[in-house]
Structure 1
Amino acid sequence: MKEICIVEFPSNLGLKEPQPGKEPGVKKLPEWLWKHNLHKKINPKNILTLDAPKYTNLKDPETQILNANSLVDYAREQAYLINNLLSQNKFPFILGGDCSILLGSAIALKQKGNYGLFYLDGHTDFMDISLSETGGFGGMAASLVTGKGHQKLTNILNLCPYIKEENLWCVGNREYDEEYENEIRNSDATYFSLKELRKQGISNCVKTFLNQIEDKKLDGFWLHIDVDVLNDSIMPCVDSRTPDGLTYIEFNQLISYLFQSEKLSGLEITILDPDLDSTGQYTQEFVDNISSTFNTFKF
């Protein structure tokens, strides 16, 4: 049994300001989850925290991405920490932060071998900078870690691509815009929109993914969970709300299959903004669900 290590990456570097002069509140997520007993329920062997660089709402002139230099510096530190945990055969249970924390995870995975990425998100985050109105890394995270974009971010430590495009699965998107979806459709990644996931069946989708991990003889896979994959009625405290989404019954079924796999090397949770959940009711329901499913099926 691997030792669980909760790793806190309280970063908001990949998001735009929700309003002028106000930082995104998602950097408060690790502490917020602690207050709602996630740490107690998961019962990790260790808890590690790596503070993020200072947030700005300025685009890097070279890449047109917000906080690009800070993202690179932070990712290198994140990767060093995660690499050490993986080398010790520990299980990183990472709390963001926005989706830009994937950058450090992906670098660490490339340093360790050849890994798959199960990207569970209400958006594909597989977007070219030309389509981004904000310049936020979060909306391009999946494409950037597979090598699509400026080399300042895609080729850190000369490791491009961190995740091979054909080893990426984007699952749960419900942003049904033709131009937006075509980015992922025209790639080598596997794409299951929410509609397609329900049509094909959750168990069929996940089993096909796990079979590919085995058939390709990958070293393992990483699970990215953006809470906006959940139905808007049960998880409205996110930066980009969209109608519909997974129910907790669907969500728990899906992650239970992934948690049972010995190939799961670690996971990360992103985007829940404490500023948008003043009573904590949505956070508590999320904590109860993911901790129960994790404890039942993983360890």
Structure 2
Amino acid sequence: MGATGWFVLGAPWDCSGSGRGEQAAPDALRAAGLSAQVGRDLGDAATTITSTHRDADTGVLALLDTVRAARTLTDRLAAALVNLPGQRPLVVGGDCSILLGIVPALRARGLVSLWFLDGHPDFLDGAASETGETADMELAVLTGSGAAPLVELAGPAPMTPMVPVERVVLLGHRAENLDDASAAELARLPPELRRIDASTLMTDPAAAGERAARWLEQLDPVGQGAWLHLDLDVLDPDALPAVTYPQSGGPDWEELAHTLTPLTRSPNLLGVSVADFRADLDPTGALAARVVALLTRVLR
């Protein structure tokens, strides 16, 4: 990572409200050396969620806490983008719900595209999710489908959706040997959503990354901007077991690095978010060090 080219902002966010481990990831990654790899470490936004109340109308867990956390993260990131011009943000969570705070800060500056690497599509809503966790649904919310208090985080229509679905590329999701619930979630994806599933990605990881980069670069030939989101459960559990919802059939560290490199080298790259590292499942810190090594390799 270029020492002056990036800043870190932590988002200790666990949408379950249970304190199960994702919220400890920013500190764990710092302990593994992340801060030394960037120009500035801005500390953490106040995004801790403690509510376990499931909203009766929307089915969303911790809805009010989530809206508050999202707005807090938006404000912190927006201020950092103003105060640190020329530096790219690396936002470390926390779970994938951090995107609900990240994208509004970007959206205020114009249209944004999204590379979304995840073992799951995250395209449920409050009714369809077994738990109501926003980490089940953030991609749906970002593309305009879901509970109004979340969908409108960047402002009411016509500002929504936060990311038009044609500006999203989903990579690494599992599409084979799915249980019924996972198959039903996959069927919810809009046909215009571009996707490269895990099996296709693993056949030629570098080509998958190059194709994803090219798709969004064609939308924005002048480099308007794309955000890269990495849910670490895109990795196979043999590579990284310290995630909340592990799913077999994913890439290893080397394959993931080859996929990420064309995206992080793209002139369109605005910044990166990293989510779903369970520090409580990494007692020695060895897996946190592996995450930092990956980031150091691909973010230059």
In the superposition, the TM-score normalised over structure 2's length comes to 0.89
SS of the residue corresponding to residue 112 of structure 1 reads coil
Distance 2:291 2:5 in 1: 23
Map 1:161-240; keep pairs closer than 5 Å. Answer: 161-174=161-174, 176=178, 177-184=182-189, 186-199=190-203, 201-217=204-220, 219-240=224-245
Distance across 1 between alignment mates of 2:76 and 2:286:
32
**TM-score, normalised on structure 1?**
0.89
Name stretches of at least 5 consecutive residues in structure 1 with no aligned partner: 18-22
1:120 counterpart = 2:121: no
Q: Tell me the distance in 1 between the aligned counterparts of 2:20 and 2:228.
A: 23
**Distance (Å, rounded) in 1 between the aligned partners of 2:31 and 2:7:** 18
Letter matched to residue 9 of structure 2: V
**Which of 16, 28, 38 is residue 32 of structure 1 equivalent to?**
28
Are the structure 2 counterparts of residues 214 and 289 from structure 1 closer, same or farther at C-alpha, using a change threshold of 3 Å?
closer
* 2:103 corresponds to 1:103: no
Of 9, 12, 16, which aligns to 2:11? 9
Inter-CA distance 249–3: structure 2 relative to 1 (3 Å threshold) = closer
Superposition misfits of 4+ residues, deviation over 6 angstroms: none
* Mapped contact 1:7–1:94 kept (Cα < 8 A): yes
Q: How many residues align?
A: 286
Equivalent-residue separation in structure 2 for 1:141 and 1:54 (angstroms) = 16
**Distance of aligned partners of 1:265 and 1:149 in 2 relative to their CA distance in 1, 3 Å threshold:** same
The yes-or-no answer on 1:140 pairing with 2:137 is yes
| 1:287 to partner: Cα distance | 1.7
Note if 1:69 corresponds to 2:64: yes
Q: Does 1:52 find its partner at 2:66?
A: no
CA distance in 2: counterparts of 1:270 and 1:165, whole angstroms: 21
Task: Give the distance between the partners of 2:41 and 2:13, measured in 1 at CA.
Answer: 20
Q: What does the per-residue CA deviation read over 1:60-105, in whole Å, with 9 as the maximum and x for residues that have no partner?
A: 2232111111111221221122223334332111110011100011
Q: What SS does the aligned partner of 1:252 have?
A: helix
Between the aligned residues of both structures, percent identity stands at 24
The SS at the match of 1:272 is coil
Query: Which segments of 5 or more consecutive residues in structure 2 lack a partner in the other structure?
Result: none
Shift of 1:53: 4.1
CA RMSD of aligned residues (A): 1.9
Q: Does 1:246 align with 2:243?
A: no
Three-state SS of the structure 1 residue aligned to 2:9 is: strand
- Structure with more of its chain in helix, by fraction: 1
